C-alpha cells in the first residue's frame, strides 16, 4: 500500500474524534497497511500515571488527566512517526490545539473520525471503564459530542464518517484523502 509522506517530524496521521468513533481500531488498520506503529495517547497516559484512566480521574480529576494527556500528545507529535490515535477529549485544551496546528503547518494530517450516537453506543455504550460515560452513556455521549464537534472540526484537516463502515473501508478512505491532499 502507498502511504502518505507526512511531515519531516511527527506522525503520518493523527486521528481525533469522540469515544466510539474507532480511532484505535482504524489507527491499527492504517498502521498495518502502512507498516508503521500505532500510538494511542490514552495508553501513554496510563503508562505515565502507572494506573488506568479511571484511576487517574478518581485521584486527580479531569484536569489532572488532561495535563497528562497534553504531555502525551506533545511527546507523540515530536517523537512518533506512525499513526497517532488521540483520546476523545485531547483536543479540548488550547495548548493541545496549538500543538496540533503546528504539526499541520509542518505538513501533518489530522483526521476527525465522525460517528453518530447509535454507532458509538454499539461500540462503547456498555464500557464502564470510561469515566465520562459512567451515567446515562447515550445522553452523556450526545452532550459531549455537541460540545466537542466544533473543536474536532477546527483541528482537523479532513473528516471521515465511520458509522456502519468496516475498518478497511474507513482506512482506505483516509489513505485516499491523505494521498490526494499531498498532490
pLDDT for position 57 = 85
pLDDT for position 122 = 77
Spans of the chain below 50 pLDDT:
none
pLDDT for position 130 = 53
pLDDT for position 128 = 54
pLDDT for position 114 = 95
pLDDT for position 133 = 55
Measured CA to CA in angstroms, residue 43 lies from 38, 77, 97, 124, 180 at distances of: 11, 15, 20, 17, 31
pLDDT for position 149 = 95
pLDDT for position 140 = 81
CATH number of 13-181: 3.40.50.300
Q: Hey, where are the domains in the chain? A: 13-181
pLDDT for position 100 = 98
Amino acid at each position: 500500500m502507498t502511504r502518505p509522506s507526512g511531515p519531516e517530524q511527527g506522525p503520518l496521521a493523527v486521528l481525533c474524534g469522540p469515544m466510539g468513533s474507532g480511532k484505535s481500531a482504524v489507527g491499527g488498520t492504517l498502521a498495518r497497511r502502512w507498516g508503521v506503529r500505532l500510538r494511542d495517547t490514552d495508553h501513554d497516559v496510563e503508562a505515565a500515571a502507572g494506573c488506568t484512566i479511571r484511576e487517574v480521574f478518581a485521584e486527580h480529576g479531569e484536569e489532572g488527566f488532561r495535563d497528562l494527556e497534553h504531555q502525551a500528545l506533545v511527546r507523540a507529535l515530536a517523537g512518533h512517526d506512525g499513526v497517532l490515535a488521540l483520546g476523545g477529549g485531547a483536543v479540548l485544551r488550547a495548548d493541545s490545539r496549538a500543538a496540533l496546528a503546528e504539526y499541520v503547518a509542518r505538513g501533518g494530517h489530522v483526521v476527525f473520525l465522525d460517528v453518530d450516537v447509535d454507532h458509538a453506543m454499539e461500540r462503547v455504550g456498555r464500557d464502564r471503564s470510561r469515566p465520562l460515560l459512567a451515567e446515562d452513556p447515550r445522553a452523556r455521549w450526545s452532550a459531549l459530542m455537541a460540545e466537542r464537534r466544533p473543536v474536532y472540526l477546527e483541528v482537523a484537516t479532513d473528516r471521515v464518517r465511520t458509522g456502519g463502515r468496516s475498518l478497511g473501508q474507513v482506512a482506505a478512505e483516509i489513505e485516499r484523502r491523505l494521498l490526494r491532499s499531498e498532490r
